[in-house]
Amino acid sequence: MIAPPAKDALIIAVDGPAASGKGTIAQALAVLYRLPSLDTGLLYRAVGVLTQRRTGALEPADAEWVARSLNPGALGDPNLRTREAGELASRVAAIPKVRSALLEFQRAFAVQPGGAVLDGRDIGTVIAPDARAKLFVTARPEIRAERRWRQLGAQGERVSIETVLEDIRVRDQRDSGRSAAPLVRAEDAVLLDTSEMSIDEAVDAARRIVETARLSSDSQPRG
Ligand code: CDP
């Protein structure tokens, strides 16, 4: 059992679809508020990549075993940022036993003293439903495809923008349609559409959302 968050802890949940800008925003908020941050997508990417590498397939029982024995040290592997890793991640993320194997690590990260920033798909709904600030970051699919295409290009992956857009559509559908912790905006999450925003504008908008959430939670009795 994991203890609930301390009353003054600042837990920030940042959810949203692929390449919406949530990772960049989460990292910037972590620096601004001096909080530890966890990109939870990396956990699923690591499980997908390691399962495929070790067994040549993505059998649910194997993926669950990999998730249970996952070493957080594996999260720094640059291979986790590839297009293929994103696809493998989204496939293992639909396996309920993989999700439950990763649950405790994420919850423990969220409730550390002082707080934390986590980004993913189910942070505000499942991992940290008591988070003080919840953001749901989105952008139009064409914009997200262009951002991801640039990112992949910078990593040396040559792929057409049309292929990236198709990947994003498939992933959106799989992430939103699965029965285990689907991608959905928590009722109390603030929607942030970054389609027309620069990185600085998006980070600034996110900071204002967090400030508003902090002020309103300070004026309400909690716990
Ligand atoms: O950066 P991008 O949004 O493309 O991917 P990511 O955040 O690294 O997540 C990769 C995949 O992991 C997603 O498509 C989801 O299927 C899954 N995921 C999840 O199910 N729950 C999370 N909390 C984070 C990621």
Model confidence at 222: pLDDT above 70: no
Average pLDDT of 16-42?
97
Q: Are strands 10-15 and 190-193 parallel, antiparallel or unpaired?
A: unpaired
The proportion of the chain whose per-residue pLDDT surpasses 90, expressed as a percent, equals 86
* Assigned domain for 223 exists: no
Of all atoms in ligand 1, which is nearest to the CA of residue 23? 1
* Assigned domain for 5 exists: no
How many Å apart are CA 9 and CA 133, to the nearest integer? 11
Range of the domain at 63: 10-215
Model confidence at 173: pLDDT above 60: yes
How many Å apart are CA 134 and CA 125, to the nearest integer? 9
Query: 22: domain CATH number?
Result: 3.40.50.300
* Assigned domain for 203 exists: yes
* Assigned domain for 132 exists: yes
* Assigned domain for 35 exists: yes
* Assigned domain for 222 exists: no
From 40, 91, 138, 184, mutation site for ligand 1 pocket: most ligand atoms within 8 A of C-beta: 40
Nearest to 205 by CA among 145, 137, 156, 114: 137
38-61 tens-digit pLDDT: 999 999 999 999 999 999 999 999
* Assigned domain for 221 exists: no
The whole-number pLDDT of residue 143 equals: 97
* Assigned domain for 1 exists: no
Alpha-carbon dihedral angle through residues 146, 144, 99, 94, given to the nearest 10 degrees? -80
Our measurement of the distance from residue 32's CA atom to the centroid of its chain's CA atoms, rounded to an integer in Å, reads 19
Q: Give how many domains the chain has, as a whole number.
A: 1
The whole-number pLDDT of residue 3 equals: 67
Helix (H, G, I), strand (E, B) or coil at 121: coil
**Mean pLDDT over all residues of the chain?**
93
The whole-number pLDDT of residue 217 equals: 79
From 75, 82, 107, 121, mutation site for ligand 1 pocket: most ligand atoms within 8 A of C-beta: 121
Confidence of residue 31 (pLDDT cuts 50, 70, 90): very high
Of all atoms in ligand 1, which is nearest to the CA of residue 119? 23
Distance 195 CA to ligand 1 centre (A): 19
